[in-house]
Amino acid sequence: MTNNPTDGQRIGPIELLPGITRTNFWTFMLAAFVCIGMLATLNIAQSYILVQHLGIPWSKQGALSGNLTLVTEIMSIFLIAPFGILADRIGRRTVIVIGIIFVGVGYGLYPYATTPEELYLYRILFGIGIPATAAMTATIQNDYSTDDTRGKVLGATAIFNSLGILVISFIIAQLPNILTKSGWDPIMAGKLAFGFGAVLCFVSAIAFRFGLKGGTPATPTERLPYRILIPSGFKAARNPRIALAYLSALTARGDVVIFGVFLALWAQKAGFALKMNPGESMAVASVTIVVATVAGMVWAGIFGFIMDRINRVSAIAVSQLIAAAGYLSMIFVSSPLDYAMLPAFILLGAGMSGAMMASFVVIGQEANYKERGAVTGMNGLFGSVGILGRRLRGRPPVRRLRTLGAVRHGGRRASGDLLAGRGGPNGGTGRYADEASQNHVRGFPGDWIVACVVSLEYEECRRSGFQPRFRPAIAAGSRSYGMCGTPVIRHL
Q: Residue 276 region, left (φ>0) first, then alpha (ψ -120 to 50), else beta?
A: beta
Q: What is the DSSP letter of 17?
A: P
Strand partners, 11: 14
CA distances from 381 to 76, 112, 252, 292 (A): 7, 30, 12, 26
Q: Phi and psi of 369, rounded to 5°?
A: -60, -25
String of DSSP letters for 214-253: PS-SS-TTTPPPHHHHHHHHHHHTTSHHHHHHHHHHHHHH
Q: Rounded to 5 degrees, what angle do the CA atoms 372, 374, 375 make? A: 65
Supply the pLDDT for residue 33: 94
Please, what are the averages of pLDDT over each run of 10 residues along the chain (492 residues)?
59 90 95 90 83 82 81 86 90 94 94 90 92 90 88 90 84 87 89 93 96 86 86 90 88 67 74 76 77 85 90 88 85 80 86 84 88 88 73 44 35 31 35 35 33 33 39 33 31 30
Residues 455/480, Cβ–Cβ less than 8 Å: no
> Could you tell me the domains of the chain?
21-391 (1.20.1250.20), 397-490 (no CATH)
pLDDT of residue 387: 67
pLDDT at 173: 81
pLDDT at 54: 86
Euclidean distance between CA atoms 364 and 367, whole angstroms? 6
Sign of the alpha-carbon dihedral angle for 466, 469, 475, 480: negative
C-alpha span between 378 and 275 (Å, rounded) = 45
Sign of the C-alpha dihedral computed for residues 138, 175, 258 and 301 taken in this order: positive
The reported pTM is 0.69
